[in-house]
Amino acid sequence: QVQLVETGGGLVQAGDSRRLSCASSGRPFNNHNMGWFRQAPGKEREFVAAISRDGITTIYPDSVKDRFTVSRDNAKSTMYLQMNSLRPEDTAVYYCAAHRDEKAWRPKQENKYDYWGQGTQVTVSS
């Protein structure tokens, strides 16, 4: 079992930066590829970023590419999401998730992530 807790959300202005953290406990952190997802009011949850077990490979959708950076520190069992140049459309609840502990990695597929945090709200004002 994996327990995940996101922190770092809050109120920011457009153009500001923010770093989210996801602390993991339970199963060994480095067993899991990890991901970030977000859900804005009235919209479905969408993929934000993914990172491989060793932190070498990262994946982003076009909506955040060049602005967001995902990283992890396996010694601290923590994943991060650095968000720069924030826009009002980035406003959402941000969730961290641990991918199913299996050989195949499907970084963008929500249903392949078995463990989720409670979410942290990021609100970007214009």
Give pLDDT tens digits for 49-98.
999 999 999 999 999 999 999 999 999 999 999 999 999 999 999 999 99
Handedness of CA 103, 105, 110, 113 (dihedral sign): positive
Residue of 117, 107, 104 whose CA lies nearest to 51: 107
Q: Is residue 5 within a helix (H) or strand (E), and if so which, with residue range?
A: strand 2-7
Predicted pLDDT of residue 27: 86
Whether the Cβ atoms of residue 33 and residue 103 lie closer than 8 Å to each other:
no
pLDDT tens sequence across 5-55: 999 999 999 999 999 999 999 888 988 999 999 999 999 999 999 999 999
Say how far residue 96 (Cα) sits from the centre of its chain. Answer: 4
Predicted pLDDT of residue 107: 94
Read off φ and ψ for residue 34, nearest 5 degrees. Answer: -125, 160
- Rounded-to-integer distance, Cα 105 and Cα 56, Å: 14
Average pLDDT of the residues in 103-107? 91
Read off φ and ψ for residue 18, nearest 5 degrees. Answer: -155, 145
